[in-house]
Amino acid sequence: MASSGLAKTETPIDNNGSLERARVLRSMRLGDVLFESLTRTAAISVLLLLGGIIISLFIGAWPAIKTYGFDFLTTQRWAPSLKPQPILGALGPIYGTLVSSLLAMVIAVPVGLGISIFLTELCPHVLRRPISIAIELLAGIPSIIYGMWGFFVLGPFLAEHFQPAVIDFFADVPVLNVIFAGPASNLSLFNAALILAIMVLPFITAISRDVFATVPVVLKEAAYGAGCTTWEVVWNVVIPYTRVGVIGGVMLGLGRALGETMAVAFVIGNAFKIKASLFAPATTISAAIASEFAESDGLHQSSLILLGLLLFVLTFMVLTAARIMLMRLERNQGK
């Protein structure tokens, strides 16, 4: 397309006979070709980046894959300094990653949807922008700040006031008294999940607010006209219309939560042993890497890289599912 445009501009040069113009045009054409190949190279480098990440992690993880194989996924013991060979298993970190992230979503999804409903249906127009910016600022606070705050402020508060109350409340209920068993702890899986919930809240809010805004006003007005309350409009019109997009947003938030590092490393307690209680310390893949990688070597380091590879595969799958859902929503809108 670009070359055909240039070919046309070439004819007047010959008529004009000006060498100067021909020279300028030639340099322009050279610049054109250069610029296009430059942008193409940059675009392809994005693909290479992903390939590079996967290959580099795989190479780093290979000694651990060779040594442990599938046992790595089913072993709970994490003994990096054992002689002659360390025994390392990923079950604890995998459990912690999945449970903390899912629990975070259980907290963040209803709250995030509630905020989006507030912003799209209830909020006075003047306040709409300031409040959505304030919520989005939660996403701007660096991860390590959440970690410090969780460690020094939230953890002690929960251990003193919230956890004992919950433990007492469920003490006589079967099953729940195991999930919420004491003792209360400053560092726990639950604290990590709560911090994660606060961190993914802005992502879920932003996406669900945007997809709520795609609902045609006519649909809502028709429902209001039929006498529906605001809640009935939201529940019967807005949510069904945007379901795919909301799920996409939730998955995107989940992808974030799975890989969150510093905040979790501060508050989860780095315990590789799986405990049934949510109030007990645990660990996640990213927290384990952050706290142990700098002092690791050999098989221990390789195992940490393998953990990283597992995390990448996990988030890759979740994010892919999220993108496919959001793309399906876009396609529906295009129709």
Instruction: Extract the tokens encoding 203.
Output: 């992502």
Q: Which range of residues in 67-75, 174-182, 183-191, 312-320 is near another protein by CB under 8 A?
A: 312-320
Smallest distance, Å, CB 66 to another protein? 17
Nearer to another protein, 280 or 289 (CB): 289
Residues 139, 143: Cα–Cα separation, whole Å: 9
d(C-alpha 163, C-alpha 246), whole Å: 31
Contacts to another protein from residues 286-305, by CB under 8 A: 286, 289-290, 293-294, 304-305
- How many residues touch another protein (CB under 8 A)? 93
Q: Looking at beta carbons only, is 278 or 309 nearer to another protein?
A: 309
29-59 residues labelled b (16+ CB within 10 A) or e (exposed): beeeeeeeeeeeeeeeeeeeeeeeeeeebee
**Among 66-74, 106-114, 170-178, 208-216, which window interacts with another protein (CB under 8 A)?**
106-114
Residue of 88, 103, 159, 198 that binds another protein (CB under 8 A): 198
- Scanning 71-79, 85-93, 224-232, 242-250 for contacts with another protein by CB under 8 A, the matching segment is 224-232
Binding residues among 24-63 for another protein as defined by CB under 8 A? 28-29, 31-32, 34-36, 38-47, 49-50, 52-53, 56-57, 59-60
Site for another protein, residues 140 to 179, rule: CB under 8 A: 140-146, 148-149, 151-153
- Considering the complex, what minimum distance in angstroms separates the CB of residue 57 from another protein? 6
Radius of gyration of the chain (CA): 27
Q: Which residue has the tokens 């780095």?
A: 270
Region from 23-31, 79-87, 159-167, 169-177 binding another protein, contact rule CB under 8 A: 23-31
Q: Which residue stretches of 118-234 are H helix? A: 125-140, 143-149, 155-157, 163-169, 176-179, 189-212, 217-225, 230-233
- Between 13 and 181, name the residue whose CB sits nearer to another protein: 13
Interaction between residue 218 and another protein (CB under 8 A): no
DSSP-assigned states of every residue in 71-125: HHHH---EETT-SSS-EE-SHHHHHHHHHHHHHHHHHHHHHHHHHHHIIIIIS-H
Residue 205 near another protein by CB under 8 A: yes
CB nearer to another protein: pick between 176 and 327? 327
Kindly tell me which of 178 and 317 has the beta carbon lying closer to another protein. 317
Q: Which residue has the tokens 């939560």?
A: 257
Nearer to another protein, 79 or 262 (CB): 262
Nearer to another protein (CB atom), residue 74 or residue 229: 229
Neighbouring C-alpha atoms within 13 Å toward the C-beta of 239: 12
How far apart CA 141 and CA 329 sit, in angstroms, is 30
φ, ψ of residue 79 to 5 degrees: the values are -125, 80
Cα distance between residue 7 and residue 266, in whole Å: 63
